[in-house]
Structure 1
Amino acid sequence: MHGPILTALLYNAALLLAMVLVFELASSRYRLDASRGTQMLTGGVLGLISIGVMMAPFDFAPGIVFDTRSVILAMSGLFFGALPTIVAAAIAAAYRFALGGGGAWTGVFVIVAAGAIGYAWRLRCSGSLAEVRGRELYALGLAVHLTMLALMMTLPTGAGPGVIAAIGLPVMFVHPLATATLGMLLANRLRRDRSERELQRSEALYRSLVDSLPQNIFRYDREGRLTFANRVFQQTIGRSEAELMGISVYSLAPPDLAQHYRSIDAEVLASGEPVSLTGTHPSTRTGELVHVEIVKSPIRAPDGTIEGIQCAVTDVTERREAEARVHRLAYYDTLTGLPNRSLLTDRLAQNLAAQRRAPSVEALMLLNIDRFKIVNDARGYRAGDALLKAFAERLQDLLRSGDTLARMIGDEFAILLPDVSGRADRASRRALTVAEKIHAELRRPLLIDGEEFAVSASIGITLFPDENGEDSPEAVLRRADTALHRAKAGTDQTAFFDTVMGESATQSFRVERDLRHALAHDELCLHLQSLIHPERGTIGAEVLVRWKHPVFGLLYPNAFVPIAEESTLIVELGSWVLTEACALIAVEARAGRELRLSVNISPRQFRQRDFVPRLKTLLAESGAAPRQLTLEITEGLFLHEIDEITARMNELAALGVRFSIDDFGTGYSSLAYLKRLPIHELKIDKSFIQDAPDDPNDAALVETILSVARHLQLDVVAEGVETEEQAAFLSRRASVIHQGYLYDRPEAAERWLERWRQV
């Protein structure tokens, strides 16, 4: 009897699998974890499939039938969950009950038990059902159908043992296999659902990313037919993606470029490697020329074959324009449009490198407009800028195409004469010829806004490379600058750098280097010279710096201060002097003595942004009283940024710091700034004092200064008082503070203070 039973069960199982396959194909558009309505619909379909298999059962006895409904309900519980299984079980149970017979209730129990066991198995699974294994499904089939055989004992009239004996072996052979087979199909469906969702997410993410990029990104097949276009590309072309799909990408390019792009694409398809290129072509929408960067990459199918090309086109027009602007700002002067110092230095370095390969002698010229500052001060910056532009245009007309004219800074220009000659004498003559042409051409006035300006220039020339053939741009510029300073001793002059000038420059460099060492190793010291009031006697002193040089002995300021003023070293030197002076004031104050000191401050030091806060900190930390400190400044400080200078002076004057105008009358003298600035004192330069008793002109100048001071209620200090006649001349005219060799010479601060304390 087992043969017919087995055949019937195999037929039923085949029917089950065929019906499930039909369900799989029909429901392929729905996910297994869809909405509640879809789940109920799925349960209904599963119930109908259960009815279908029950319509072709194996009839064991009247009212007792066997089929594969248990397989369906178990798989429903495992893969579809509670709601579809309840719906399917209800439909299947109703149909089985409607069939009637002695095994109706047992059939219902089997339906319910199969669904429940399948759902319990679902809850037991810790991982994804898509990864369930065949042996686990087979075990589920065994559990369900052993339970089904056990439920046969509920058949009426004691038919259970006979039924189990008759069908037990075929059932346990066919149904677990059918369960495992059906389970594998459904697990495969889950895996496919998961893959489809991941693919959809990937495609959505790719689309989102590609649409958010600023590049034009599109794909096309091997024939050039568009298959994808991002939002930027659609906007660039002016068509929607639907309009673009299928058209030839080459039809969107200008005809002369289309063939070029075809050849590039052929290379990509043949090599399988990406290709990058740049180009300039008219915009599809506006017709304006745009700069683009293009990357073409092959698109590979899963089997590795190339099925098309992805192209990313970036409009770099703005970036190129910005780079050009940055380059121009970095290497060109904004006023004249000429190369600036950076570009000149770069070209100088290139020429020096070329000279190492092919020896030659070339020339560098530095030019400075004579008395340019007078024009700038008298006519304003706008006229000064116009003069600089006209001067540059005049020079440019004199030069060859290979020469470089550059604006260095302010009114200083440079001319690089490349490949002048292989011999120094010829190179010198050529450079001198150019210099003379410049002098001659500048004798014609420059016309600016209808007004003629007569200008001349000082020119410094150096040849390079040096005698050793080893040179650097910095060294060449330094030599040319040295020559320029020599030329500026007059006006409309040209000077060459020579050995003597070179030795002088070397000496200055050594002084600067040694002075830095002196500041760091306590080689400087203070000297003081008395300030004498005719009635009150010594009222203070001027602070003077000396250098205790380890080789040359005691050096006076004229040996090193001018060199320091050409660099930032003057700021360090001035800070040291201020610090020492405040320390002296504080020491005497603690002893109950008020010491008034005058300290010279260079314009460069005063213009430092942190000068005022640093001086405030110094006064606070040292304990020096601000009213005991006088800062001696020169009139050159007032030539630039007068508003800023005024604000700084007022801030210090509010603390009690006094200001004295040193060498008054020798520089930019103006009654306007005397009224505007917090000035407390004028110092008459010794050049006026020396001949004042005998020279009517000097006497008149001194009397004028004294009159101004009296009306503005300013103190007056006379420098360089060396004779009784000079002292008497001053005393007859005003109450003037005297300073000079008549009273004492500058001496070391310790000795001066010792003598002062005794007085």
Structure 2
Amino acid sequence: MIAQRIRTNRFSLRLRLLLILLSSSFVLMIIATFAILAEHHQQSHKASQQEVLSIGSLVQGSMSRAIRMQAHDVIEEIEAELQAHRRIKRVVRVSENAVVIDAYHPQFIGAPAQQLLAGLNKELLAKASQSGLLASEFVESANKYIVYIPLVVPAVELGKPQRQVLLFEFEHKDDWQQALQHRWLELLLALILLTTAGLLLWWYLQQKIASPIEQLLQAIENVHLGKTFVITPVEPLSELGQLTHAISNMVTRRQQDEVELLKLSAVIEQSQDGILITDKAGTINYVNSALISLSGYQRSELLGQNPRIFGTAKTPNTTFAEMWAALNAGKAWSGEFINKNKSGIEYIERQTISPLRDSQGKITHFVGIKRDITEEKALAQRLHFLAYYDVLTHLPNRLALLEQIAVAQQQHAMQGLLMVNIDRMKFINDARGYSYGNQVIQGFAERLNELHSHFLAHLGADSFCILLIATDKIALNTLCQQTAEKVQLACKQPLLVQDDALVVSCSLGISITNNLVVGDELLQRAETAMHIVKRQGGNNLAYYNDVDGKQALVMFQTEKALRLGLERNELQLYLQSQLDEQGQLAGAEALVRWQHPNEGLISPGLFIPVAERSDLIIALDNWVLQQSCQLLANWQQQGRKLTLSVNISPRHVRHADFVSDITHLLDLYQLDATALVLEVTEGILVEDIDASITKMQTLAALGVQFAIDDFGTGYSSLSYIRNLPVQELKIDQSFIKGIPLHANDVAMVTTIISVARQLGLRLVAEGVETAEQNAFCQREGLWAQGYFIDKPLPVAAWQQRWFTP
């Protein structure tokens, strides 16, 4: 479209080039014509001057002689010949004072002669008369030459010659038509050359300028239509080629800028943040869709307005002062406003305002990015509450307590911490449910809050902490003791929970420290003291001491080292023999020992209780089971019919994988399961009785034997034992120790033997250390196990003793 307009536009470059060429040709032709005419004019003047001089020279000599000789006839004849010349009009002879002496014809005397004399150049006449040289002048108005021919005549007086001048008019003819007729061939040749040069110049301009410009315009038009700008400069090094290259770069850069601008515009329009642009005076020039949605105004209602339209007068003046201070300094500013939308609903808004500058660096506009953070602020407050407060009681939590301790330490104050734990909370939850239990915790929290303690925190579940601060240790001890007594006294008052008057007790652990102990350690010490009270039955208080802390640390370090020991295979299997009633080897009990790389052999009395309190006991049981089953498989392959007893923790029995752990080993080693005896304590009868019996029955169906270890010392129930798939009872060594000297021990063991025989169970006596005890076992038909027979030995040493002939 643009190129078509260029072709038809009367101001187009192509038309202008054509007009310039035509005008130039016309001007050149006129110049050539004028040059020819000028040359012809010059040549005609030159010819006239030569002819005048030639006639004058002939006439001067002839006329001068005729005058000296007084030959009037000759004079008249000369004048007649001059007058007869086709271009000589008038012939007059005058004196040096310009007085007419004679003429060829009387009509040239008088007024006509005076007309001629009136047009004479007196100076030229005098000069010609005095010098004796011919002279002429051209009278342009009459297109004629006046010729001055000086004549010398005989002197009238002696020594004084008389001077005369012969004048005649010579008509000058300058015929330009004739000149053109004589030079038409030259003009035609010049016209042909000019036309050819014009056409060549037209073709060159067309090819090198007009067409490339047309292509350039077409390429620009394609860009305008959304097409790609494609053009190849004809001459890249020429000015037009460089211009095309520059335009191409400019168009490419513009297209890239437009793409980026479209992206930016799309981002701005699709942004969830409200965006507005104002001029330097604060007049709104632009708003995006998000701002329209945020404010409730239409675009037309915002354009031309001031951002004060959103204000509520609730934003502090200091905020505006800080904003303008930053913007006037040319810096971006971010802050919060309390604004309102069109409906008058207020919201909290975070806004970032940045100045925009022109190419000279002057601020021309401001751009503001607005976001409604009302929900964000509410969420932040909620998160802050969740981070620092307990949801159930709305009391500060553990994190808030630690921060409060840190603040007190920064102030170099003495801190005392009371850890308060509700006794038997698990029993309450199991009996009445967690909803009831939560109400108990809430009521207990309100009771503690009524004490107006310095700082009360709920650590979760049934544990609370009271932070006390004093200036010295004596005052702090007194304050801790008084607060603990208040807590115990408050616990004696019933809590009203769902119309129940519930009295709860609590265990208190007290830790007193200074700035040398961090908050976590202070809390740990109070918790350690509270656990001591718990183990002692609860409903009491205890102060933390270093012995308790060291014992807890030892247990922690032992657990950590035992976990590594299991991974590094530092455990060893030991065996202790079991003899039947005839005193023959009937089996052995598998025992675990820990060969620590630095501490040496560690007694199971140190690490087994630690394992029982953690999940390590299951891993430990599985290790002993695997080693024992592998050993049993070797014995059975050798044809040895011996039993191997393995102690199993009640936690392992209650574990979901207990049965699969045993069956996997039976399948792996292809064992006769009757040789494997699993020793369990009476603790399995305390919790989860039915599930434990079911698991034991499943394994018993495969042939696995079960034994009750340490029988008589724990929770003994003959009805449960009757229902258990048990084949063996192990009498605790505390009863065997008094045999045969103490009648009570003998009576107790005799009773156990009677019960076992009634139930058809095998009896094993533990702790047989004397010959009398061993003889008692054989006499009563008991299996014997103890130091009298042998001490626990490593597997290799045990097999060497009992299997070597």
> Do the aligned partners of residues 662 and 752 (structure 1) sit closer, same or farther apart at CA in structure 2, a change above 3 Å counting?
farther
> Do the aligned partners of residues 497 and 255 (structure 1) sit closer, same or farther apart at CA in structure 2, a change above 3 Å counting?
closer
Partner SS, residue 686 of structure 1: strand
Partner of 1:232: 290
Task: Name the CA distance, whole Å, in 1 between partners of 2:709 and 2:7.
Answer: 113
Partner SS, residue 527 of structure 2: helix
Task: Name the CA distance, whole Å, in 1 between partners of 2:639 and 2:234.
Answer: 99
> Do the aligned partners of residues 672 and 609 (structure 1) sit closer, same or farther apart at CA in structure 2, a change above 3 Å counting?
closer
Corresponding position: 1:422 with 2:468 = no
Partner of 1:686: 710
Structure 1 residue 444, shift from structure 2 partner: 1.7
Partner of 1:221: 279
- 1:615-626 equivalences under 5 Å are 623=669, 625=671
Partner of 1:707: 722
Partner of 2:793: 748
Task: Name the CA distance, whole Å, in 1 between partners of 2:306 and 2:581.
Answer: 104
**Conserved 8 A contact 1:345-1:473:** yes
**Conserved 8 A contact 2:456-2:464:** no
Partner of 1:363: 416
Structure 1 residue 493, shift from structure 2 partner: 0.8
Partner of 2:47: none
Structure 1 residue 114, shift from structure 2 partner: 3.7
Partner SS, residue 436 of structure 1: helix
Task: Name the CA distance, whole Å, in 2 between partners of 1:676 and 1:522.
Answer: 29
Task: Name the CA distance, whole Å, in 1 between partners of 2:273 and 2:264.
Answer: 14
**Conserved 8 A contact 2:336-2:349:** yes
Corresponding position: 1:382 with 2:435 = yes
Partner of 1:45: 9
2:631 to 553, 566, 584: 584
AA partner of residue 738 (structure 1): L
Corresponding position: 1:247 with 2:305 = yes
Partner of 1:399: 452
Partner of 1:435: 484
Partner of 2:45: none
> Do the aligned partners of residues 318 and 720 (structure 1) sit closer, same or farther apart at CA in structure 2, a change above 3 Å counting?
same
Partner of 2:37: none
1:205 to 263, 275, 280: 263
> Which runs of no fewer than 5 residues in structure 1 stay unpaired?
1-36, 67-99, 141-182, 633-659, 691-697
Structure 1 residue 314, shift from structure 2 partner: 2.5
Partner SS, residue 588 of structure 1: helix
Partner of 1:115: 206
Partner of 1:647: none
Residues 608-628 of structure 1: per-residue CA shift (max 9 Å, x gap):
9999998898888x7475947
Partner SS, residue 9 of structure 2: helix
> Do the aligned partners of residues 550 and 224 (structure 1) sit closer, same or farther apart at CA in structure 2, a change above 3 Å counting?
closer
Partner SS, residue 427 of structure 1: helix
Corresponding position: 1:266 with 2:311 = no
> Which runs of no fewer than 5 residues in structure 2 stay unpaired?
32-190, 217-228, 737-745, 767-776, 778-783
Partner of 1:638: none
- 1:564-713 equivalences under 5 Å are 564-567=611-614, 570=617, 573-574=620-621, 576-588=623-635, 591=638, 597-602=644-649, 623=669, 625=671, 627=673, 661-664=680-683, 667-668=686-687, 670-671=689-690, 674-675=693-694, 680=700, 683-684=707-708, 686=710, 688=712, 703-709=718-724
Task: Name the CA distance, whole Å, in 2 between partners of 1:565 and 1:392.
Answer: 33
Worse-matched range after superposition: 610-619 or 114-123: 610-619
**Conserved 8 A contact 1:719-1:740:** yes
AA partner of residue 513 (structure 2): F
AA partner of residue 214 (structure 1): Q
Structure 1 residue 232, shift from structure 2 partner: 0.9
Residues 500-559 of structure 1: per-residue CA shift (max 9 Å, x gap):
545544654665577568667876533345678889997755433345679998664333
Corresponding position: 1:497 with 2:544 = yes
Task: Name the CA distance, whole Å, in 2 between partners of 1:286 and 1:312.
Answer: 21
1:58 to 11, 18, 23: 23
Partner of 1:720: 732
> Do the aligned partners of residues 704 and 256 (structure 1) sit closer, same or farther apart at CA in structure 2, a change above 3 Å counting?
closer
Structure 1 residue 218, shift from structure 2 partner: 1.0
Partner SS, residue 610 of structure 2: helix
Task: Name the CA distance, whole Å, in 2 between partners of 1:673 and 1:610.
Answer: 12
1:737 to 748, 753, 762: 762
**Conserved 8 A contact 1:534-1:731:** no
Residues 276-303 of structure 1: per-residue CA shift (max 9 Å, x gap):
2234x24415655544322111111121
Task: Name the CA distance, whole Å, in 1 between partners of 2:570 and 2:27.
Answer: 128
AA partner of residue 581 (structure 1): S
Partner SS, residue 292 of structure 2: helix
Partner SS, residue 426 of structure 2: helix
Structure 1 residue 137, shift from structure 2 partner: 3.2
- 1:222-371 equivalences under 5 Å are 222-257=280-315, 263-279=321-337, 281-285=338-342, 287-351=344-408, 353-354=409-410, 358=412, 360-371=413-424
Structure 1 residue 226, shift from structure 2 partner: 0.5
AA partner of residue 232 (structure 1): A
Task: Name the CA distance, whole Å, in 2 between partners of 1:46 and 1:610.
Answer: 100
**Conserved 8 A contact 1:217-1:232:** yes
> Do the aligned partners of residues 312 and 603 (structure 1) sit closer, same or farther apart at CA in structure 2, a change above 3 Å counting?
farther
Corresponding position: 1:460 with 2:518 = no
Corresponding position: 1:137 with 2:239 = yes
Task: Name the CA distance, whole Å, in 1 between partners of 2:406 and 2:577.
Answer: 54
AA partner of residue 206 (structure 2): G
Residues 324-351 of structure 1: per-residue CA shift (max 9 Å, x gap):
4444444443433333334433433443
AA partner of residue 491 (structure 1): G
Partner SS, residue 351 of structure 2: strand
What is the TM-score normalised by the length of structure 2?
0.62
> Do the aligned partners of residues 55 and 101 (structure 1) sit closer, same or farther apart at CA in structure 2, a change above 3 Å counting?
farther
AA partner of residue 737 (structure 1): R
AA partner of residue 403 (structure 1): F
1:471 to 517, 520, 525: 517
Task: Name the CA distance, whole Å, in 1 between partners of 2:690 and 2:658.
Answer: 26
Task: Name the CA distance, whole Å, in 1 between partners of 2:442 and 2:355.
Answer: 55
**Conserved 8 A contact 2:756-2:763:** no
> Do the aligned partners of residues 596 and 223 (structure 1) sit closer, same or farther apart at CA in structure 2, a change above 3 Å counting?
farther
Structure 1 residue 586, shift from structure 2 partner: 4.6
> Do the aligned partners of residues 191 and 105 (structure 1) sit closer, same or farther apart at CA in structure 2, a change above 3 Å counting?
same
Task: Name the CA distance, whole Å, in 1 between partners of 2:662 and 2:756.
Answer: 35
AA partner of residue 226 (structure 1): I
- 1:544-559 equivalences under 5 Å are 544-547=591-594, 556-559=603-606
Partner SS, residue 765 of structure 2: coil
**Conserved 8 A contact 2:456-2:467:** yes
AA partner of residue 478 (structure 2): R
Residues 212-251 of structure 1: per-residue CA shift (max 9 Å, x gap):
3222111111211011212211221223434322111222
Partner SS, residue 750 of structure 2: helix
> Do the aligned partners of residues 454 and 44 (structure 1) sit closer, same or farther apart at CA in structure 2, a change above 3 Å counting?
same
Task: Name the CA distance, whole Å, in 1 between partners of 2:423 and 2:354.
Answer: 63
> Do the aligned partners of residues 333 and 298 (structure 1) sit closer, same or farther apart at CA in structure 2, a change above 3 Å counting?
same
- Percent sequence identity over matched residues? 24
AA partner of residue 765 (structure 2): G
> Do the aligned partners of residues 676 and 725 (structure 1) sit closer, same or farther apart at CA in structure 2, a change above 3 Å counting?
closer
Partner SS, residue 262 of structure 2: helix
> Do the aligned partners of residues 219 and 530 (structure 1) sit closer, same or farther apart at CA in structure 2, a change above 3 Å counting?
same
Structure 1 residue 685, shift from structure 2 partner: 5.5
Number of residue equivalences: 594
Task: Name the CA distance, whole Å, in 2 between partners of 1:524 and 1:576.
Answer: 9
> Do the aligned partners of residues 458 and 198 (structure 1) sit closer, same or farther apart at CA in structure 2, a change above 3 Å counting?
closer
> Do the aligned partners of residues 116 and 427 (structure 1) sit closer, same or farther apart at CA in structure 2, a change above 3 Å counting?
same
- 1:497-536 equivalences under 5 Å are 497-502=544-549, 504-505=551-552, 508=555, 524-529=571-576
Partner SS, residue 437 of structure 1: helix
Structure 1 residue 306, shift from structure 2 partner: 0.9
- 1:172-183 equivalences under 5 Å are none
